Structure 1
């Protein structure tokens, strides 16, 4: 297949693109490269530095499928500049989906977020529950979902609501819970936990990227799917970290109300099987740091980097 991946130089894209190339696909990688480019050179890879908002610059000639990862990632970054967030994560998605329909693209895979549900009282959150987003990031994801689903009669639409992703990427993120707590333990020997009882669903980066490939290979699997296989409290994660590397846990008060568990039975029933766990991500991060292939780089912290380099 010829596959267009937006946000291809991001945390997930940097892991996904090499997997697609290894499978023999031709990949067009689109990214604005705020955080750099860590993709490998490959004869079947074309990397284009394009702002996804400039849809007219995106060439869809011969493209069989789009994997749309580009967005302003996470709540703090989304709140930093709401106008930018809506333009990138909602308006650009609408424009890209419309262009895909007009140019005959047959597949559209969209990376939404498990946080679109908002704060839920249910023990397990399934795909049929109402969406009640509470941040700009969540709201744009919900709107983008609705837009893409409106094209379901024109192309195969597959929407993923991922849990918080963890694990190693050459374009690492050290501002997501598992990765952040693990690096705190490694560098300072102390983990700061805000509150601790908030529950977060988690998914390993190898599993989420394998899921996009699973969807590519299974056009009959359509609609919306949760993707998260371990619902853990922040304190649970911290305790898992210190079981692998010595560190103290410091608990402080938190005003963060977000606490939710997602259920991914629908995805498992469709035939997808996860292979890794949070514990694997922690072990892999520790090992990468100890061998010197992972460092605490400034551009691995989205919010701080965007404050300095993107949003003035």
Structure 2
């Protein structure tokens, strides 16, 4: 299968693309490369530096499936330049879905976000609950979902609402909770937790990328799927880190009491099973740091890097 992956050089894409190649797919990796390109050359890999906002840069000739990962990721970055966020995460999604339809492409996987629900009091946040997004990022993801779902009669549409992803990637992120707290412990011997009682759903980067491959292999599973397998508090994450890195945990007051939790029973009913945990992610990050393969760099923090290099 020839798979067109947007955001292919990002945090998830840098792990997904090698897995697609290993599975025997041909891959077109499309990315604006704000954060660089960490993909290794491969005979079946074509890397294209391009902007999803420019339809003319997107060549879908011979493409069988699209995995649409690209967006302005996370709330602070989305709020940095709302116009940019809407253009990339919503308008470009509309243009891409339309081009896919016109090219007769029958498979479209869309990476949404578990944050589209907004703040929910329900213990079990299922796919059927009302979406009440708060930030620009959440809102554009909800709109992207609606756009892609409008083509469900013309192509296989599979939408994933991932929890917060954790673990190591060649294009690392150190601004997501598990990775950030682990790095704090490694660098400072101290972890600062704001509040601590807030619950966050998590998914290992290997599991979320395995899920995209699973969906490519199983077109019979269509619609929207939550993907998050560990709903644990920020303080619990910090305590997990201290099992492996000696560090002091400092709890300070937080003005953000919001908790997020997701129920992934619909996904589990397809037969998909996660293989890794938050603790696995912590241990892997520690290992890469200890080997000198992971350093604390500005480009691993999306907001810091975008303020410096993108939105000036």
For the criterion TM > 0.5, the same-fold answer is yes
Which residue of 1 is the match for residue 158 of structure 2?
A: 158
Aligned equivalent of 1:29: 29
1:237 alignment partner, SS class = helix
The correspondence of residues 251-262 of structure 1 with structure 2, limited to 5 A, is 251-262=251-262
- Which deviates the most, 154-163 or 286-295? 286-295
- Contact 2:195/2:257 (8 A) holds in 1: no
User: After the TM superposition, which of the residue ranges 254-263 and 277-286 deviates more from structure 2?
Assistant: 254-263
Partner of 1:202: 202
CA distance in structure 1 between the aligned counterparts of 2:257 and 2:251, rounded to whole angstroms: 16
Q: CA RMSD in A?
A: 0.6
Residue 266 of structure 1 aligns to a residue whose secondary structure is helix
Query: Counterparts of 1:297 and 1:249 in 2: how far apart (Å)?
Result: 23
Superposed CA deviations along residues 115-139 of structure 1, whole A, max 9, x for unmatched, are: 0000000001000000000000000
Match status 1:130 vs 2:130: yes
Instruction: Count residues in correspondence.
Output: 312
Using structure 1 for the length normalisation, give the TM-score.
0.99
TM-score after normalising by structure 2: 0.99
Offset, 1:252? 1.4
| Contact kept in structure 2, 1:159 and 1:223, CA below 8 Å | yes
Q: Which residue of 2 aligns with 1:4?
A: 4
Question: Residue deviations 1:38-87, cap 9 Å, x none?
Answer: 00100100000001111121000110000000000000000000000000
Quick check: 1:199–1:259 contact (8 Å CA) kept in 2? yes
Counterpart of 2:219 in structure 1 is 219
Deviating runs (4+, > 4 A) in structure 1?
A: none
Q: 2: distance between equivalents of 1:57 and 1:247?
A: 48
Q: Structure 1: how far apart are the matches of 2:55 and 2:20?
A: 23
CA deviation after TM superposition for structure 1 residue 258, in Å: 2.9
1:7-59 deviation per Cα after TM superposition (whole angstroms, max 9, x unaligned): 00000000000000011110000000000000010010000000111112100
2:289–2:295: 8 Å Cα contact kept in structure 1? yes
1:176 corresponds in structure 2 to 176
Measured in 2, the distance between the counterparts of 1:118 and 1:3 equals 32
Q: Which residue of 2 aligns with 1:237?
A: 237
The answer as to 2:141 corresponding to 1:141 is yes
Q: Do the aligned partners of 2:107 and 2:155 also contact (CA within 8 Å) in 1?
A: yes
